[in-house]
A and B are shown apart, each in its own frame.
Chain A
Amino acid sequence: MAIRARAVTDRKQMSYVPLGFRAALGRFAMTHRTDYTRARFIAGFLAVPVLLYLIYVISPYAQAFYIAMTNWRGVSATPQFVGLENFQRLLGDGVFWTAVGHNALLLVLLPLLTIAIALFFAFLLNVAGESGGVSGIWGARFYRVVFFFPQVLAVAIVAVLFQQVFRPDKSGMLNAPLMALGLEPVGFLSNPDVAFWSILGVLVWQAVGFYVVLFSAGMASIPREMFEAARIDGAGRVQLFFQVTLPLLWDTVQVGLIYLGIAALDVFAIVWVMTAEHGGPDHSTTVMAAEIYRNAFQYFRFGYASALGVVLFFFTVAFAVLAMRLSRRDRIEF
């Protein structure tokens, strides 16, 4: 109140007293002081976060691009600049390209499977109810709660858990019933032809619940009348899904595609912890992140590992740009 009162008297004086030097100086000092405290506040609030961010995030990323062009090996050796030599070498690195292939396969299959399953369940839980109209199925809340739970578990914990589930003998949760039926046990993680699919299965297992909840939220924001109108016009469940729900939910599905695509490129813990030889057997499950970690912290090839990192970076950026371009569609306003 005091400040406002002073401002009023100031203005009054201004109207009939010519602006003197002293008054001008005073006003200048005033605004200058508030500008100064404002600037000090901004700097004070930004200093620590920006500093932490520059030290721990920006500087490592910037350094990585340079290290990628050195032959740095071992902890004590001095790195030399070798230009694009690491990149030439990685072109002929069969294991790395096997890893890239696995990431590419995951990039296609993980979003596809997860979103298909999640959409199916979200639709059942929210729209395809049986109470005549278009409400959720009985027990929808319970299912959502259960489905989402794997999402809160650490990937490393899930990896150890499924390592036990997949055990190759009769101590394995899945193989015990198979063997009891007299069937051959499946080498979920020991058979190179099967191991990759076990990885994919676990990734889908953990991801589905999140997208059920995400799509449920999306479906809840679609006006009920849309579904009711379609129902009255004689649409069955299948039509209700493909012609009403999916188009109206497309924005959310798009977000899911991008999230899962990035997740597919970043797979690490599940492979590193769950599989034999960290990406085995025989490189049948290895992924880019695992090869980067292996080269850096097991072989101590820091230069080469950084070059692999740069490749992963460009794959990620390329995917993000591509996904944004391809999935852009006319938005339906409602």
Chain B
Amino acid sequence: MVSQAGKVRLSRSAARERRRARLGPLSGLSHLALVVWTVLVAVPILWTFLASVKSEDEIFGSAWSLPASLRWDNWARAWDHAHIGQYMLNSVVVVAFGTFGTMLFGSMAAYVLARYQFRGNRAIYLLFVSGLAFPVYLALTPLFFVVQNMGSVPLIGQFIGLDSRGGLVLVYIAYSLPFTVFFLSAFFRTLPQAVAEAAFVDGASHSRVFFQIMLPMARPGIVSITIFNVLGQWNQYQIPLVLLSGQAKDKWVLTQGIADISTAAGYDADWSALFAALSMAILPMLVVYTIFQRQIQAGLTAGALK
């Protein structure tokens, strides 16, 4: 009792002293390590933001100099001349449709596979899950020709062939299905049966039970996997590189556009616009991440913790 009272009376600085004495320099070192990594993460990004408002001369003059004036015209040039605005819009459209389709079809397949017994159920499930093991690079060549052939389908061909956003959306959906089905069927299996049964007794149809009862019950899982798919499709580079050729630059996605500015531009490149373009690609992610960081961390690690 006496010692407790004594502890309370210790001032904050004295407590800190005691802690330091007990833990020695280790605590200071661990803080240092954490700060060093924070700097390693933050500085390249902040440096890019800084360079995006510098003039070309300032960029080449010295990497760390501050700009004499803030040149927002770099951003305007990146948005218009380097078509970042167009690329970003394309990315938004493709990811919106791609993720919506993935979630709709993925949850439908996962639900049926998780909660209905029928012949072939296991085989279809394994077919989907086997897709997790294949490296996408194995499929690239045939995929190119599959999408090319889809282009000659009457009526809808031009919307789903090569150099079309529709084709990219369908491919995104198909390649997102393995993980989505795998994850969501595990999730649907854990949901209780009682509520669905009560609805069936009341005469609800199978699809109504799915859309109005099971899907809302699966919300946490749906949210996680939606975030996973949005980020995965937004960050995709390899597939658009194959399916959207240089003749369809107006349909390119953001990753493709930015990579192209730096690889193809050569000596006459507009470097300050490149930094502005990079900043434009990073900034929305930073904002979205700051707001939803808890959900994003949960969504991305959800798969690994299953």
Q: Does A38 contact B (CB under 8 A)?
A: yes
When the two chains form their complex, are residues A313 and B143 in contact, meaning their CB atoms are under 8 A apart? no
When the two chains form their complex, are residues A273 and B262 in contact, meaning their CB atoms are under 8 A apart? yes
Residue of B26, B44, B135, B262 near A316 (CB, 8 A) is B135
User: A149-B45, A214-B301, A292-B140 provided; 16 other pairs, C-beta below 8 A?
Assistant: A37-B205, A53-B127, A57-B177, A60-B141, A63-B142, A120-B33, A128-B30, A137-B34, A143-B38, A152-B231, A154-B255, A160-B274, A205-B41, A208-B37, A269-B237, A269-B238
| Neighbouring B residues of A269 by C-beta, 8 Å | 237-238, 255, 259
Provide the bound-state CA to CA distance between A267 and B52, in Å. Answer: 28
Tell me whether chain B's interface is mostly helix, strand or loop, or mixed.
helix
When the two chains form their complex, are residues A147 and B41 in contact, meaning their CB atoms are under 8 A apart? yes
Interface hits, B174-201 → A, CB 8 Å:
174-175, 177-178, 181, 201
Provide the bound-state CA to CA distance between A124 and B124, in Å. Answer: 44
When the two chains form their complex, are residues B135 and A302 in contact, meaning their CB atoms are under 8 A apart? no
Residue of A39, A52, A144, A237 near B105 (CB, 8 A) is A52
Q: Does A159 contact B (CB under 8 A)?
A: yes
When the two chains form their complex, are residues A57 and B109 in contact, meaning their CB atoms are under 8 A apart? no
Q: Which of A12-20, A166-174, A191-199, A222-230 makes up part of the contact surface? A: A166-174
When the two chains form their complex, are residues A273 and B111 in contact, meaning their CB atoms are under 8 A apart? no
When the two chains form their complex, are residues B33 and A124 in contact, meaning their CB atoms are under 8 A apart? yes
Chain B residue at minimal CB-CB distance from A270:
B237
When the two chains form their complex, are residues B141 and A130 in contact, meaning their CB atoms are under 8 A apart? no
- Pairs A-B, 4 closest by C-beta atoms: A56-B174, A176-B63, A154-B235, A60-B142
Residue of A49, A130, A273, A305 near B23 (CB, 8 A) is A130
Residue of A46, A120, A214 near B109 (CB, 8 A) is A46
Q: Does A177 contact B (CB under 8 A)?
A: yes
Residue of A152, A272, A310 near B296 (CB, 8 A) is A152
Q: Does A69 contact B (CB under 8 A)?
A: no
| Neighbouring A residues of B112 by C-beta, 8 Å | 41-42, 45-46
Q: Which of B66-74, B217-225, B281-289 makes up part of the contact surface? A: B281-289
| Neighbouring B residues of A313 by C-beta, 8 Å | 134-135, 138
Q: Does A219 contact B (CB under 8 A)?
A: no
Q: Does A85 contact B (CB under 8 A)?
A: no
When the two chains form their complex, are residues B38 and A137 in contact, meaning their CB atoms are under 8 A apart? no
Provide the bound-state CA to CA distance between A167 and B143, in Å. Answer: 36
Q: A59-B146, A121-B37, A152-B231 are in contact. Are A64 and B135 (CB under 8 A)?
A: no
When the two chains form their complex, are residues B41 and A146 in contact, meaning their CB atoms are under 8 A apart? yes
Q: Does B12 contact A (CB under 8 A)?
A: no
| Neighbouring A residues of B47 by C-beta, 8 Å | 165, 173
Provide the bound-state CA to CA distance between A123 and B81, in Å. Answer: 48
Chain B residue at minimal CB-CB distance from A311:
B138
Chain B residues with a Cβ closer than 8 Å to the other chain, count: 101
| Neighbouring B residues of A124 by C-beta, 8 Å | 30, 33-34
Q: A121-B33, A130-B23, A273-B263 are in contact. Are A162 and B140 (CB under 8 A)?
A: no
Q: Does A250 contact B (CB under 8 A)?
A: no
Interface hits, A99-151 → B, CB 8 Å:
117, 120-121, 124-125, 128, 130, 132, 137, 139, 143-151
When the two chains form their complex, are residues A170 and B62 in contact, meaning their CB atoms are under 8 A apart? yes
B172 to chain A, nearest CB (A): 9
When the two chains form their complex, are residues B174 and A57 in contact, meaning their CB atoms are under 8 A apart? yes
Q: Does A1 contact B (CB under 8 A)?
A: yes
Q: Does A153 contact B (CB under 8 A)?
A: yes
| Neighbouring A residues of B285 by C-beta, 8 Å | 152-153
| Neighbouring B residues of A322 by C-beta, 8 Å | none
Q: A55-B174, A121-B34 are in contact. Are A149 and B289 (CB under 8 A)?
A: yes
When the two chains form their complex, are residues A171 and B63 in contact, meaning their CB atoms are under 8 A apart? yes
Chain A residue at minimal CB-CB distance from B109:
A49
The 29 sampled A-B contact pairs (Cβ below 8 Å) are A2-B203, A41-B207, A44-B207, A49-B106, A49-B109, A52-B173, A53-B174, A55-B174, A56-B146, A56-B171, A57-B139, A58-B131, A59-B142, A61-B138, A145-B290, A159-B259, A160-B258, A163-B262, A171-B62, A172-B63, A205-B41, A210-B300, A268-B238, A292-B138, A293-B238, A305-B140, A309-B138, A310-B138, A313-B138
| Neighbouring B residues of A259 by C-beta, 8 Å | 304
| Neighbouring B residues of A312 by C-beta, 8 Å | 135, 137-138
Q: Does A29 contact B (CB under 8 A)?
A: no
When the two chains form their complex, are residues B202 and A1 in contact, meaning their CB atoms are under 8 A apart? yes
| Neighbouring B residues of A128 by C-beta, 8 Å | 30
B126 to chain A, nearest CB (A): 12
- What is the 8 Å Cβ interface bit string for chain B, positions 13-55, against chain A (1 contact, 0 not)? 0000001000100110011011001101111110110010000
When the two chains form their complex, are residues B139 and A292 in contact, meaning their CB atoms are under 8 A apart? no
Q: Does A67 contact B (CB under 8 A)?
A: yes
